[in-house]
Amino acid sequence: MKTLFLDGFTVAAAPRILARVTTKLNTDILADERDHQRLISLLAEAEIIVGHIWRTDYPPAPRLRVLQSVAAGLDLIDRAAIPKAVTVCSVYGHEPAIAEYVITTMLVLTRRLFELVSEFRCGSWAARQTSGGKPRGEVMGRTLGIVGYGRIGREVASRAAGLKCRVVAANRSPVASAGPADRNYPLAELDPMLPECEMLLIACVLGPETHGLIDARRLALMKPGAILINIARAPIVDEAALYSALWEGHLGGAAIDVWSREPTADEPRRRPSEHPFHELPNVLMTPHCSGFTDGAVERSWGSVAGNLDRLVRGEALENVVAKT
C-alpha cells in the first residue's frame, strides 16, 4: 500500500516506526509539507498517511483510506478538510509516562523539594524541625481534581489513589465506571468541584467547550495554596490569570508542560509565554515532554506500526477516533 509519512515530526519518527512494521509497505516521505509540488503528487497516490497535521489547503488525496496520527491530540488536524470515507486513527501509549510526571510534580511541589534542596546546597539547615523550620506538605489525604477523565486521567487517578489521595473528576461525556474517583462531575458542573481541589490536573482535550475553561474566576474557586498541573493544551488555562494567581499567592504552585508559544527556526530559544513564569519559584516548567520516555516511545511507535500491519492484512484497526 502507498504510504506517506508527512511532516517533520513524523518523518523523524519514521525509521523507528518502520523498524516495527512486519508487512510490506510502499513508502514515501515528505518532511516539509510546504513543498507544494511534491505534496500534490504524493497525495494523489497515497492510500495511507502517517502524520499529525491536516490543513484545509492540502491538495486532493483521492485514494486516501486511512490517516494515522502520531499524536494523541488531533487539534492540528482539520477533520472537516479530510476527504470522505477516510478513517482517522490516534495513537496511545504515553499515558503511564504522563501519569508518572503528574505524580512526580505533585510530590515535588507539595514537599517544596527544589526549595529545600537549593537552600541546603547553599549551606542552610533552616528546614530542620530542630532549627525551627516549617513542616513540608504531603499528598496523602489531599483531594486531586482531574479535568478530563480519559486514559490519562484514569492512569493518574489510580496512582494518586495508591498515595491515599481523594480523587474527584469532571468529564465532557458521561463516565461509565468511576474507577478510583470518589465522585464524577459533568464538565458543565465544574464550578462545584473546584473548591474541593487542593491539586488540579488539566487532562482534557482542547475544543470549543474547553478553550479558556480555567479562567480567573475558576482559579479563584480553588482552595488557597492549591496546585495546578497542565499536561493537556495551553489554551485550556488562561495564562495571564494563572500567572496572577501564582504571583499573588492564591495558588501554591503549578507544573506546566504546555505553552502558548512554541520555538521557531528563527527563535529556537523562544520564551514559552509572554508572562515571566520562569521568575516564579513555585512553578515547574517543562517543554511539552511529559509523555516523552523510552517506554512511551516503544508503546506509541509500536501502536502505529501495528495499525499499518493490520491495514495491509485487512484487519480491524485500533484507536479509531473518526470516520469521515
What tens digit of pLDDT does each residue of 264-300 get? 889 999 999 999 999 999 999 999 999 999 999 999 9
- Residue spans of beta strands (DSSP E) within 37-155: 48-50, 66-68, 87-89, 143-147
Of the candidates 262, 267, 315, 318, the residue annotated as catalytic is 262
pTM: 0.91
Q: How far apart are CA 152 and CA 98, in angstroms?
A: 7
Q: How far apart are CA 125 and CA 103, in angstroms?
A: 27
Confirm whether 155 is a catalytic residue: no
Q: Are 296 and 71 in contact (CB under 8 A)?
A: no
Q: How far is CA 164 from CA 32, 149, 161, 170, 180, in A?
A: 48, 18, 5, 20, 11
Taking 80 as the threshold, does the pLDDT of residue 324 lie above it? no
User: Closest Cα to residue 190, out of 133, 132, 149?
Assistant: 149
Q: What is the mean pLDDT of the chain?
A: 95
Confirm whether 315 is a catalytic residue: no
Confirm whether 233 is a catalytic residue: yes
What tens digit of pLDDT does each residue of 19-37 get? 999 999 999 999 998 899 9
One-letter identity of residue 176: A
Per DSSP bridges, beta strands 320-323 and 87-89 are antiparallel
Of the candidates 154, 218, 233, 275, the residue annotated as catalytic is 233
Q: Are 201 and 153 in contact (CB under 8 A)?
A: yes
